[in-house]
Chains A and B, each alone.
Chain A
Amino acid sequence: MTELTEYRQEVRAWLEQNCPESMRSPYRSEAEVCWGGRDFKFQSKDQETWLRRMAEQGWTAPTWPKEYGGAGLGRVEAKLLKAELARLHARPPLVSFGISMLGPALLKFGSEALRQQHLPPITRGEIRWAQGYSEPNAGSDLASLAARCEDQGDHYLLNGSKIWTSYGDHADWMFCLVRTDFEAKKHEGISFVMFDMASPGVTTRPIRLISGKSPFTETLFENVRVEKNQVIGEVNQGWTVAKYLLTHEREMIASTGLSSAGTVPVGKTAAQSLATEDGRLRDTILRADIARFEMNERALELTIERARDEVKAGVSLGATSSMFKYYGTELNKRRQELLMSIYGHDALSWEGQASHEGRLARAWLRSKGNSIEGGTSEIQLNIVAKRILGLPG
């Protein structure tokens, strides 16, 4: 225990010294997120410094092995680091699908050469990744995907399209599910490949959402060259990698239902901006709705904590990532609904500084997609019913 306390002191001292003052507050808007990548323009010197210093510590991917740019931290140490970052209200130095999604897949299924090639640049924020999963005709039924990746001897040629590519127009590389065997059963002919988005034949088209933003693109492939050494896992075994990553993604999305450190809880927000009587919100119906939401939020938080403790203790909960995904996203939708109710007319602004460019309204609209992306709520319930409860059909 004393070792850990010492470690905490060390971490605290380092952060105090190295986290620039302007990086010690939550993002005010998405524009302030540091995504990294070849073309990324830092908004400030501090943002750049913060990323560089953290990357040098291996703390942009603290649990990854040191040889790949991580810090090789154990779970407890990583948790401590997280807590110390939260204590300072420090912003993440880097938000990256490379770290949250591709990295875990490479670490589990990738060859040594692929890890060496891709992981270190990810931790330094040099390469920004996009995920190519869904297709116009393969949404909930993802395994029916049709992007054709044909063997040309020393390389593949890729034709087809992907949709809902997050920030596809800003990404440098893509990890992508493609069909490499056209005769096999649908789950058995899929491979997990990577290629440079700057390759000839790749085009992206932004998709405008009801929130007015375009965080996704449609991505088209016309005779795109894919190198043969850029396959993760075995050829035609990509579905295994995909499922692993989906589980990972769902767990990540689940936490969107929880208020992150530094966010004002919904109930407190309401108490600050609405009429109260004896310390209670005068609107008793809204008050009950908020209390129910906060109860579920706390219950989910504790359940995610329990799941982590169970993994540590060697008891696996299995397909529960589906459950977390379901609850996390449904809760976030609920949160946005409540915030709309609390702010009323003021939540409806779309532009201008006072409303932070319509932050509330846009977040509310955007949240409707949470229970669709990464597998719809209905698909999650199907998975729970079949894989956990063992219901037939």
Chain B
Amino acid sequence: MALVLNDEQLMLQDAARHFLAERAPVKHLRELRDSDDPDGFSRTLWSEFVEMGWTGILVPEAYGGLDYGYTGIGLILEECGRTLTPSPLMSTAMVAVAALELAGSAEQRSVILPEVVGGRHLLALACDEGPLHAPEPAQCKAEMREGHFVLSGSKKAVVDGHIAQSFIVSSRTESGASLFLVPAGASGVTVQRYSVLDTHVAATIEFNQVELRPDQLLGPPHQAQGLLDRILDVARIGAAAEMLGIAREAFEQTVDYLKQRKQFGVPIGSFQALQHRAALLFGELELCQSLVLKALHSLDEDSDDLAELASLTKAKLGETAQLATAEAIQMHGGIGMTDDFDIGFYIKRYRILESLYGDRNFHLDRFARLRGY
């Protein structure tokens, strides 16, 4: 696949950019924060996502979706990054749909996917247990008892866990790892919501002797680690796409500011010290753009180097989004530190995405391992 967007994708990108700039600019995020919105996202906006088909963008047509592919949803997430628009789009419409498409039974897919498309069913991936990302479940355990699995343990940093109807939960089972689809309302499930620094909301989830039927397994029992890694790679690339939007927007606003802001009687953008830093960032962003596009294509093509590309892309985007958002503050000077000004919001969202699904150190290590050293 050529590393360019086709006309249809360009139109989608354009439509998403205009819609989000109009309906959900950074002001939208401020309003949610200032009204202490318990959900941390707007259900009205979500229903508009549904109308535009975004919730079903990855879903096969048989279940009412658009079957448009990962490159499409990646473009929308990138635009969401530009406006810092909070929504369950990534966790539900990308990660969960990918999980169901990869491993869901016919029954699971036919029950859940149409509800996802309709925006009525939200899902969240519950994977991490400690402060750092680890794909292998450690203390979360599901034991077989009288034909049932009994799940106990706790998960943290569950994105959209506070609003999800179901969780995709990784757990140790007798001889490996298994994934379960657990309804949020199941007996023994406790959801503890907490707000994070970018005014998004996440959850810690306790599973206390939760009884699960074998048909609530997602994918093969005891051998789901590879599947989970694959699902996580989808999430990593999704997070990278959003970081690309964040970094680009922060960068573009900063370059504009360099042209406007005057000190010593001249625009500060005429100083070579700042010009070179901006030029370097431009280059880094071009590299990032190629990586994200290639990674999305590799999801669409299910290519062999997907894992390597996912780690490379997540690590590089983390590094660059960090640089872009931090430089944005520095080059804006004092007002970059103020809450009144939007530019400081970008670094907050970046930081969340950096920690999710493995930070750059995690992926540097994984990349090296995949390359055999």
CA distance A320 to B321 in the complex (A): 21
Q: Which residues of B (271-313) have their CB < 8 Å from a CB of A? A: 271-272, 274-276, 278-280, 282-283, 286-291, 293-294, 312
Residues of A within 8 A of B289 (CB): 303, 306
CA distance A393 to B289 in the complex (A): 28
CA distance A320 to B287 in the complex (A): 12
8 tightest A-B CB contacts, nearest first: A393-B270, A385-B275, A306-B3, A384-B279, A271-B373, A299-B287, A302-B290, A381-B279
B371 in the interface (beta carbon within 8 A):
yes
Of A17-25, A215-223, A273-281, the one contacting chain B is A273-281
B40 in the interface (beta carbon within 8 A):
no
Jot down 22 A-B pairs with beta carbons below 8 A, ordered by A. A268-B372, A268-B373, A271-B372, A279-B369, A279-B373, A288-B368, A295-B364, A299-B287, A302-B294, A303-B286, A305-B3, A306-B289, A309-B2, A310-B3, A313-B2, A315-B4, A382-B276, A384-B283, A389-B282, A390-B255, A391-B259, A391-B274
**Contact assessment for B2 and A295 in the assembled complex, using a CB-CB cutoff below 8 Å:** no
Q: Quick one: given A309-B4, A315-B4, are A291 and B367 in contact (CB under 8 Å)?
A: yes
**Contact assessment for B283 and A295 in the assembled complex, using a CB-CB cutoff below 8 Å:** no
A267 in the interface (beta carbon within 8 A):
yes
Residues of A within 8 A of B279 (CB): 323, 380-382, 384-385, 388-389
Q: Quick one: given A381-B275, A389-B278, A393-B270, are A268 and B312 in contact (CB under 8 Å)?
A: no
Residues of B within 8 A of A280 (CB): 368-369, 373
Residues of B within 8 A of A265 (CB): 371
User: Which listed residue, A271, A309, A312, A391, touches B278 by the CB 8 Å rule?
Assistant: A391
**Contact assessment for B367 and A390 in the assembled complex, using a CB-CB cutoff below 8 Å:** no
B134 in the interface (beta carbon within 8 A):
no
CA distance A62 to B226 in the complex (A): 45
Residues of A within 8 A of B132 (CB): none
Q: Quick one: given A299-B312, A381-B279, are A306 and B364 in contact (CB under 8 Å)?
A: no
A378 in the interface (beta carbon within 8 A):
yes
**Contact assessment for A281 and B267 in the assembled complex, using a CB-CB cutoff below 8 Å:** no
CA distance A386 to B255 in the complex (A): 11
A287 in the interface (beta carbon within 8 A):
yes
Taking A306-B289, A312-B4, A313-B2 as known contacts, 7 extra A-B pairs with beta carbons closer than 8 A to each other, sorted by chain A number, are: A294-B367, A295-B364, A382-B276, A382-B279, A389-B278, A390-B255, A392-B269
A61 in the interface (beta carbon within 8 A):
no
Q: Quick one: given A288-B364, A295-B315, are A385 and B278 in contact (CB under 8 Å)?
A: yes
**Contact assessment for A388 and B287 in the assembled complex, using a CB-CB cutoff below 8 Å:** no
**Contact assessment for A298 and B312 in the assembled complex, using a CB-CB cutoff below 8 Å:** yes
Q: Quick one: given A295-B312, A384-B282, A392-B259, are A267 and B372 in contact (CB under 8 Å)?
A: yes
Residues of A within 8 A of B291 (CB): 299, 302
CA distance A79 to B274 in the complex (A): 39
How many whole Å from B340's CB to the nearest CB in chain A? 26
CA distance A159 to B357 in the complex (A): 65
CA distance A310 to B282 in the complex (A): 17
Residues of B within 8 A of A327 (CB): 283, 287
Chain A contacts to B: CB under 8 angstroms: 265, 267-268, 270-271, 276, 279-281, 287-288, 290-292, 294-296, 298-300, 302-303, 305-306, 309-310, 312-313, 315, 320, 323, 326-327, 378, 380-382, 384-386, 388-393
**Contact assessment for A290 and B272 in the assembled complex, using a CB-CB cutoff below 8 Å:** no
Residues of A within 8 A of B294 (CB): 302
Q: Quick one: given A295-B315, A323-B286, A392-B259, are A287 and B269 in contact (CB under 8 Å)?
A: no
How many whole Å from B206's CB to the nearest CB in chain A? 35
B335 in the interface (beta carbon within 8 A):
no
Q: Is the interface of A mostly helix, strand, loop or mixed?
A: helix
How many whole Å from B244's CB to the nearest CB in chain A? 13
Residues of B within 8 A of A390 (CB): 255, 259
User: Which listed residue, A287, A299, A313, A315, touches B373 by the CB 8 Å rule?
Assistant: A287
Residues of B within 8 A of A392 (CB): 259, 266-267, 269-270
Q: What sequence of 0s and 1s flags, for each residue 351-373 of chain B, a beta carbon within 8 Å of any chain A beta carbon?
A: 00000000000001101110111
**Contact assessment for B267 and A312 in the assembled complex, using a CB-CB cutoff below 8 Å:** no
B295 closest partner in A (C-beta) = A302
Q: Which residues of B (323-343) have their CB < 8 Å from a CB of A? A: none
CA distance A182 to B270 in the complex (A): 31
Residues of A within 8 A of B369 (CB): 279-280
B316 in the interface (beta carbon within 8 A):
yes
How many whole Å from B334's CB to the nearest CB in chain A? 21
B258 in the interface (beta carbon within 8 A):
yes
CA distance A378 to B282 in the complex (A): 14
**Contact assessment for A303 and B255 in the assembled complex, using a CB-CB cutoff below 8 Å:** no
**Contact assessment for B368 and A391 in the assembled complex, using a CB-CB cutoff below 8 Å:** no
Q: Quick one: given A290-B368, A299-B316, A302-B294, are A381 and B276 in contact (CB under 8 Å)?
A: yes
Q: Quick one: given A267-B371, A280-B369, A378-B276, are A303 and B282 in contact (CB under 8 Å)?
A: no
How many whole Å from A77's CB to the nearest CB in chain B? 16
Of B3, B274, B278, B316, most A-chain CB atoms within 10 Å: B3
Of A265, A378, A381, A388, most B-chain CB atoms within 10 Å: A381
CA distance A386 to B283 in the complex (A): 14
**Contact assessment for B371 and A313 in the assembled complex, using a CB-CB cutoff below 8 Å:** no
**Contact assessment for A391 and B269 in the assembled complex, using a CB-CB cutoff below 8 Å:** yes
Residues of B within 8 A of A270 (CB): 373
Residues of B within 8 A of A302 (CB): 3, 287, 290-291, 294
CA distance A181 to B279 in the complex (A): 35
How many whole Å from A255's CB to the nearest CB in chain B? 15
User: Which listed residue, B275, B288, B365, B372, touches A382 by the CB 8 Å rule?
Assistant: B275
CA distance A384 to B270 in the complex (A): 13
CA distance A153 to B371 in the complex (A): 65
How many whole Å from A140's CB to the nearest CB in chain B? 13
**Contact assessment for B367 and A306 in the assembled complex, using a CB-CB cutoff below 8 Å:** no
How many whole Å from B263's CB to the nearest CB in chain A? 13
CA distance A281 to B293 in the complex (A): 31
How many whole Å from B84's CB to the nearest CB in chain A? 23
CA distance A257 to B315 in the complex (A): 20
Residues of A within 8 A of B4 (CB): 306, 309-310, 312-313, 315
CA distance A281 to B364 in the complex (A): 13
Residues of B within 8 A of A391 (CB): 255, 258-259, 267, 269-270, 274-275, 278
Residues of B within 8 A of A386 (CB): 275
CA distance A303 to B284 in the complex (A): 10
CA distance A380 to B276 in the complex (A): 9
**Contact assessment for B373 and A296 in the assembled complex, using a CB-CB cutoff below 8 Å:** no
CA distance A268 to B371 in the complex (A): 8
